Structure 1
Amino acid sequence: MTKAPYSPTANLLRDAIDATDKTQRELARAAGLPHANVLSMMKTGECKVPISRIPKLSAALGIDTSRFLEIAMQEYHPEIWMTLKEEYSPLLDEAERKLIDIYQTASFAGRIPMTTALLDALHGLFLVAAVSDASVEE
């Protein structure tokens, strides 16, 4: 038997299915899938998760739709994703986009929880960077 290829989208789906108390049949029905075995194939990476099913799957699983869509688009359609990301993030400056890119790259293999300790550490780093930058300008 051939092992399915590594798939961040399938991993996210599998983890979400494992974390719910719903059956695959219930989830498949909620997502509008004809058979539960299709969901099984998606969670093992044997077939792709249809982009159009992600909102309903997310709702059924109680997970963030945006994150699920982002991971699937990065994996299945990276060129389209990059183009959309570049064209639809006009409210961010270059430094903010770089920070988001770093976070997204780091979290590609799994969600990074925004704990108080992490937020405090990031805040501290930004304060150090701001002080360092101010002293360089003087």
Structure 2
Amino acid sequence: MSAQATVQPINDPVCAYITERIDALNGIKSQREIAAEAGLPRPNVVSMIKKGDMKLPLERVPAFARAINADPAYLFRLVMEQYWPGGADVVSEIFGTVTSRNEAAILNKIRQVSRGTDPALTPALEKALEEAFGSP
């Protein structure tokens, strides 16, 4: 699937996340280097993706994620929603919940501290998670 020219709102989750990740690399890696690592044809393509003038091609997600030090599963989920709103639900229904590395680490910690007992999501645990991560 190739990129489509579109104008996304500035608050588009893909644009915001990519901008955040690239800003974190300021002084470490240039957009030219990011474009080269991601296999994009020109450095200005990175700017176009950040602004929402162009969608990140799905086939470039893994390389782009590596180039910006992002989790590929998380970036793919965001990009997938941009291309196909509601599509993440279909993917989840077929393949199950796709977890990022960070989510998997949290799940592994839960398994470790619960000694693999498969704890239920009790109201107390739900409250503790909301306090830890902020209420939805």
Shorter-chain TM-score bucket reads 0.5 to 0.7
Of 40, 61, 74, which aligns to 1:67? 74
Q: How many residues align?
A: 102
Report Cα offsets for 1:79-102 as digits up to 9, x if no partner: 43221111112xxxxxxx7xx9xx
> Hey, what does 1:38 align to over in structure 2?
45
Quote how far apart the aligned CAs of 1:4 are. 5.0
Greater helix share, structure number: 1
From the superposition, tell whether residues 128 and 11 of structure 1 become closer, same or farther in structure 2 (CA, over 3 Å). Answer: closer
> Hey, what does 1:48 align to over in structure 2?
55
Provide the TM-score with structure 1 as the length reference: 0.62
| Paired residue type of 2:85 | P
**Structure 1: runs of 5+ lacking an equivalent:** 90-96, 101-110, 131-138
Q: How does 1:45-124 map to 2 (within 5 A)?
A: 45-89=52-96
**Structure 2: runs of 5+ lacking an equivalent:** 1-6, 111-118, 127-136
Answer yes or no: is the 8 Å Cα contact 1:10–1:49 preserved in 2: no
Provide the TM-score with structure 2 as the length reference: 0.62
User: Where has structure 1 moved over 4 Å in runs of 4 or more?
Assistant: none
| Paired residue type of 2:21 | A
Structure 1 residue matching 2:122: 3-state secondary structure: helix
Task: Give aligned-pair identity as a percent.
Answer: 31
Answer yes or no: is the 8 Å Cα contact 1:51–1:72 preserved in 2: yes
Report Cα offsets for 1:111-137 as digits up to 9, x if no partner: 99x99xxx8xxx9x726379xxxxxxx
Report Cα offsets for 1:7-60 as digits up to 9, x if no partner: 111111111111012000000000011100011000011111111111001111
| Paired residue type of 2:124 | V
From the superposition, tell whether residues 37 and 88 of structure 1 become closer, same or farther in structure 2 (CA, over 3 Å). Answer: same
